[in-house]
Amino acid sequence: MQKPLIGITTRNGKDSDGHPLTALQHSYVNAIVQAGGMPILIPTILAEEDFLDLYSRLAGILFTGGGDISLDYFRGENHPRIGEVDPNRDATEIGLMRVAVSNGKPVLGICRGAQVMNVALGGTLYTHIPDQVKGALDHAYPGDLRRTLVHPVNVSEESRAAEIFGETFLSVNSLHHQGLKDIAPMLRVVGHAPDGVIEVVEIPDHPYALAVQWHPEWLTDQVPMQRLFKSFVDAAAK
């Protein structure tokens, strides 16, 4: 049997000579391979017609971490720390998310991917948590701290996420300065950090639509994170 083809969204970077790149950390690729999927990169520079053509061949889509979503897509507070906005990536990912949700194609969102899920479906974001969420923990541990567990996440017992993780108490990394604010009507919040910051959302009436605010692709030595990627690839294989 062929492995399910999992599209992974990419960022637009530059090589050392300044030439544009389609870029993706290996951690995402490895997590999909480890879970039994066949990864394929989704360039975020394609015209809509072409990314929809690619979409039709995919069994599932992984929406990855990255820079901030443009305020063109949601009602949010402008903030000097909004950074790495990429109009091509925004258009591709928001377009793909909307079509995948309406077609029932499995989707997994990670970090920015969770924010894309909320914004694409009508939600909003905190544009800089430290200035907008009272009493918030530090959620931005950049650089080398990707494998460092910095805060717990409590997962609602009655949720798909709890079934998937096999746990309702997780220890996670945290590399985000934005967060989910007003939640899109379709989404259900099923996991929080102790300060109330939203860490897990799911779409109850969808075959598989789940998103997390942390980076499980750096924590694939943990059983709950292995279960997360496996459940996603298994749903895509159906």
Q: Which of residues 130-169 bind Mn ion (CB under 5 A)?
A: 139
- Nearest-angstrom CA–CA distance, 227 and 220: 9
Binding mask 162-191 for Mn ion (x = CB under 5 A): ------------x-----------------
- Smallest CA-to-CA distance from 84 within 70, 67, 71 is with 67
As given in the structure block, the two tokens for residue 234 are: 């298994």
Nearer to Mn ion, 83 or 194 (CB): 194
Position closest to Mn ion via CB: 174
Asked whether the beta carbons of 177 and 130 are under 8 A apart, the reply is yes
- Nearest-angstrom CA–CA distance, 52 and 5: 15
Q: Does 79 qualify as catalytic in the annotation?
A: no
- Nearest-angstrom CA–CA distance, 214 and 225: 11
User: Nearest approach, Cβ of 174 to Mn ion (angstroms)?
Assistant: 3
User: Nearest approach, Cβ of 202 to Mn ion (angstroms)?
Assistant: 17
User: Nearest approach, Cβ of 153 to Mn ion (angstroms)?
Assistant: 8
As given in the structure block, the two tokens for residue 137 are: 């923990």
- Active-site choice (93, 111, 128, 206): 111
Nearer to Mn ion, 194 or 204 (CB): 194
DSSP 8-class letter at 225: H
User: Nearest approach, Cβ of 148 to Mn ion (angstroms)?
Assistant: 12
Phi first, then psi: what are they for 124, rounded to 5°? -130, 175
The count of residues interacting with Mn ion (CB under 5 A) is 2
Residues catalogued as catalytic: 111, 215, 217
Binding site for Mn ion (CB under 5 A): 139, 174
